[in-house]
Amino acid sequence: MRMRLSIKCYLREMRIKSWLKNLFVFCPIIFSLELFEWNKLMEAIVLTLAFCLVSSAIYVLNDINDFENDRKHEVKKNRPIASGQIPFSHAWILLVCLMIVGSGMALWVNLHSFILILTYTVINILYSKWLKTMVLIDCFCIAAGFLLRVMVGGTIVSDGVSDWMFLTVLALSLFMSFGKRRGELHSYTDGETREVLEIYEKNFLDGIVFMCAGLSMVFYSLWAVSQKSNLIYTVPIVLFIVIRYLLLVFKGRAEADPTTLILSDKTLLISCGICAVIMVAMLYGTQIF
């Protein structure tokens, strides 16, 4: 029973639910129409798993550094490290193992993906130690994580990451990042968790969230027009997803990780699933049928 409890604690600390974000690695191979090329598909799977392990290592590092602040937070105090279920010594061992295995898998695929994952690691270490206290830069660091996931996926496809894909992911990730800060500010109390929230203002975040949401739709629409697979017809459902996410942000539900928010809202989750199915059908319909 005790061993089962320990394993459960370690899995909780790795934030497996947040691995959903690492599916961004698949974007380039899907939209380059190379998904059914066996070798590239296997490489995409390996790189996604590599990012899962490395991102879990970063979560462990953040929880080690945020130990004192997390203990004051109503929800985060229940995390395995903050609650004392995982000792610091075990947390460091877990962190090192995850980093070694994850980066090794990336290096096995190609050097470029290894360098990009190393860049992701460095940015997140700086974020954990210093950059998370700097207004605006903190959100751009979070957005960089999504961009690097896509760029890692781009290392295995013929044409890499297109300009429109880059801009769409940039705007969308900033939309989610500033939305998260807006949600945190909604439930913020002096002396708790993030000190950067003392600098952000609600009206400012409202404007930035709307701006990034609008840019996300503009860039995605232009990207869809540039494709030859009638992706323009996915714009309405993508617009619905963005508006639904906006609604949740302004209802104060965006404090959690974006993947947690998506998984907790059935309407948003089903919409994303339907959108993904329609996209794949439009892109690969002629190949499948």
The domain boundary residue, chosen from 119, 139, 155? 155
Which residue do the tokens 């229940």 mark? Answer: 78
User: Is position 87 within any domain?
Assistant: yes
Shared domain for 259 and 169, answered yes or no, is: yes
Handedness of CA 170, 173, 175, 177 (dihedral sign): negative
Q: How confident is the model at residue 122, as a pLDDT?
A: 95
Long-range contacts of range 34-39, CB-CB < 8 Å, 24 or more positions apart? 34/157, 34/158, 35/284, 36/284, 36/287
Residue 23 belongs to a domain with what CATH number?
1.10.357.140
> Given its phi and psi angles, is residue 193 left (phi above 0), alpha (psi -120 to 50 degrees) or beta?
left
Dist. CA 34–CA 287, nearest whole Å: 11
Rounded Cα–Cα distance for residues 238 and 166 (Å): 17
* Predicted TM-score (pTM) of this structure: 0.88
Give phi and psi for 59, each to the nearest 5.
-60, -40
pLDDT at site 163: 92
Residue 9 belongs to a domain: no
Same domain, 75 and 107: yes
Three-class HEC string of 83-118: CCCCCHHHHHHHHHHHHHHHHHHHHHHCHHHHHHHH
**Inter-residue contact 177 to 142 (CB < 8 Å):** yes
Task: Say what the pLDDT of residue 72 is.
Answer: 65
Total domains in the fold of the chain: 2
Contact 161, 154 (CB under 8 A): yes
Spatial contact of 191 and 72, defined as CB atoms under 8 Å apart: yes
Assess if residue 275 is contained within a domain: yes
Cα–Cα distance between 64 and 158 in angstroms, integer? 40
Are the C-beta atoms of residues 257 and 184 closer than 8 Å to each other?
no
Q: Positive or negative, the Cα torsion across 165, 166, 169, 170?
A: negative
In a domain, 2, yes or no: no
Domain stop point among 137, 155, 173: 155
Residues 185 and 251 in one domain: yes
Domain identity same for 193 and 229: yes
Can you give the pLDDT of all 289 residues of the chain as single tens digits?
Answer: 444 446 777 677 778 888 888 999 999 999 988 988 999 999 999 999 999 999 999 988 888 877 666 666 666 666 777 666 777 788 888 899 999 999 999 999 999 999 999 999 999 999 988 888 899 999 999 999 999 999 999 999 988 899 999 999 999 999 999 998 888 887 665 545 567 788 888 899 999 999 999 999 999 999 999 887 788 999 999 999 999 999 988 887 766 678 888 888 999 999 999 999 999 888 887 665 5
Which positions ≥6 away from 275 have C-beta within 8 Å? 234, 237, 238, 241
Same domain? For 168 and 143 the reply is no
Question: Both 166 and 281 in a single domain?
Answer: yes
Q: Are residues 124 and 223 in the same domain?
A: no
Q: Is 264 inside any structural domain?
A: yes
Dihedral, 268, 272, 275, 276 alpha carbons, nearest 10: -170
Same domain, 41 and 64: yes
Full residue range of the structural domain in which residue 150 is found? 17-155
Cα gap 231→248, rounded to integer Å: 26
